[in-house]
């Protein structure tokens, strides 16, 4: 059944880089990360909006889905990016109409990224969040990567649906194993690689 109300879904995802902390690389399933992002976009975009920080490993996958499905639904995607990385922006960014550039703070990478994440989470009301792969954690009071974004999200939206896709490994597996409430854990998040069905049942049918 078609959905008439567009709901906002936060996506926190990235493919871990080899030069980062090895604990993320060791469990990362790169194929699962890519498959799950493609499946999420395929299931969600016809009905709802995905909002994400434009990580270069994720943005091309979402555009691929939009092109494959021939979806003229620019209002269903919003990308946030810090101006600090403007010279590294992908050409894929230009294919999206809703790209929000956030300010550079004190010419500092972590402050600028935190500012971007705060704006991204404060400027929308979210019904759900999906966490896939990822790297970096929380250092002191600095919110970093998927782990930091999970903490920031649940602090702001404690009643929203959260889905850490642990089968993709990396930072999301750490979130699932250590931070995700026991009563919300679901074996499908750990072992089910049929992501189209998973997102239909655990996300679309629930929000």
pLDDT in tens, 138-193: 444 445 688 889 999 999 999 999 999 999 999 999 999 999 999 999 999 999 99
Listed range (20-29, 168-177, 195-204) with the worst mean pLDDT: 20-29
Question: In this structure, what token pair is assigned to residue 180?
Answer: 């995700």
Output the pTM of the full model. Answer: 0.91
Task: Report the SS3 class of residue 181.
Answer: coil
pLDDT at residue 97 greater than cutoff 90? no
The count of C-alpha atoms lying within 13 angstroms of the C-alpha of 187, restricted to the half-sphere facing its C-beta, is 0
Task: Report the SS3 class of residue 157.
Answer: coil
Residue 150 CB contacts under 8 Å (≥ 6 apart), including other chains:
12, 129, 131, 162, 164, 175, 179
Residue 60 CB contacts under 8 Å (≥ 6 apart), including other chains:
90, 92
The Cα-based distances of 37 to 40, 52, 75, 110, 140 in angstroms read 5, 12, 18, 25, 30
Nearest one of 165, 186, 136, 185 to 40, comparing CA atoms? 165
Q: Which domains does the chain have, with CATH numbers?
A: 8-204 (3.40.50.450)
Tens digit of each residue's pLDDT (9 = 90 or more) over 57-87: 899 999 999 888 877 778 899 999 999 888 8
């Amino acid at each position: 059944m078609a959905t008439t109300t567009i709901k906002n879904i936060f996506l926190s995802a990235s493919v871990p880089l080899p030069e980062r902390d090895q604990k993320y690389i060791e469990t990362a399933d790169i194929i699962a990360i890519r498959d799950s992002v493609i499946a999420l976009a395929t299931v969600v975009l016809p009905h709802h909006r995905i909002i994400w920080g434009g990580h270069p490993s994720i943005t091309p996958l979402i555009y691929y889905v939009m092109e494959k499905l021939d979806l003229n639904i620019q209002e269903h995607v919003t990308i946030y990016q810090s101006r600090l990385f403007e010279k590294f922006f992908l050409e894929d960014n230009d294919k999206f109409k809703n790209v929000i550039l956030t300010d550079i703070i004190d010419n500092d990478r972590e402050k600028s990224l935190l500012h971007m994440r705060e704006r991204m989470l404060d400027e929308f009301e979210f019904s759900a969040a999906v966490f896939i792969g990822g790297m970096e954690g929380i250092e002191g009071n600095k919110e970093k990567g998927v782990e930091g974004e999970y903490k920031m999200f649940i602090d702001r939206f404690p009643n929203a649906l959260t889905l850490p896709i642990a089968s993709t490994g990396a930072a999301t597996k750490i979130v699932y194993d250590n931070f995700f409430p026991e009563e919300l854990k679901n074996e499908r998040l750990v072992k089910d690689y049929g992501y189209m069905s998973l997102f239909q049942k655990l996300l679309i049918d629930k929000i």
